Structure 1
Amino acid sequence: MTRTLLIALALAASPLAALAAPAVGDIVGTTPEAATAALKEKGCEVKSFEAEDGKIEAKCADAEGKVSEVYIDPASGAITKIGGEEG
């Protein structure tokens, strides 16, 4: 019974975890401090920042260790693109 309850709770929480992920259009800020805090709230721990093609690229990892490249517009602080790589 307990195992069934735990499985049901895990399945019910799965969509909520997906909602916490960063998405294109989210405003995360224009400074490293603001972007780091905003991405952390969305479950993405920032590992590094670098400039790439006029955007800010933040490499971050989720709780499962999947690394994502989050591209941020430096003028608006909006996420413009998200790419992933296995980490």
Structure 2
Amino acid sequence: MTKTAPLQTAIRAAALAAAITALPALAMAMPKVGDKVGNPTEAKAALEAAGCMTPEFEAEDGKIEAKCHDAAKKLYEVYIDAKTGTVAKVKEND
């Protein structure tokens, strides 16, 4: 890991925070495919900030699966690419 890694992490966190605060509260229902949320440690905060409350993580088919709910208690599964930290799929549970 290089010395720039903490700076890059801080920049990403600041960019995510700016993007989230710029959106109306109701628009923050769930993360979208392509959103970069990072590894499970970083992803917990990023997913909660995007409206995916109390995520629980497990490995599934080479991806990280986050199970969570929105403000209306609707359940979701968010699949994160383990290599890139990018949301690959969002699935609404019945």
- Residue 43 of structure 2 is matched in structure 1 by 35
> Which consecutive aligned stretches of 4+ in structure 1 deviate over 4 angstroms post-superposition?
none
Q: TM-score, normalised by structure 2?
A: 0.69
**Which stretch has the larger CA shift, 73-82 or 46-55?**
46-55
* Rounded Cα–Cα distance in structure 1 between residues aligned with 2:72 and 2:64: 24
Aligned residues: 71
**Match status 1:80 vs 2:82:** no
Q: Percent identity?
A: 52
Tell which structure's C-alpha radius of gyration is larger.
1
CA distance in structure 1 between the aligned counterparts of 2:89 and 2:48, rounded to whole angstroms: 17
TM-score, normalised by the number of residues in structure 1 = 0.74
Which residues of structure 1 form unaligned runs of 5+?
A: 1-14
* Cα distance in structure 1, aligned partners of 2:83 and 2:55: 22
**Matches of 1:67 and 1:81, distance apart in 2:** 14
CA RMSD of aligned residues (A): 1.6
Paired residue type of 1:28: V
Please list every run of 5 or more consecutive structure 2 residues that lacks an aligned counterpart in the other structure.
1-22
Contact 1:46 1:58 in 2 (8 A): no
The residue that corresponds to 1:67 in the other structure is 75
CA contact (8 A) 2:29 2:51 kept: yes
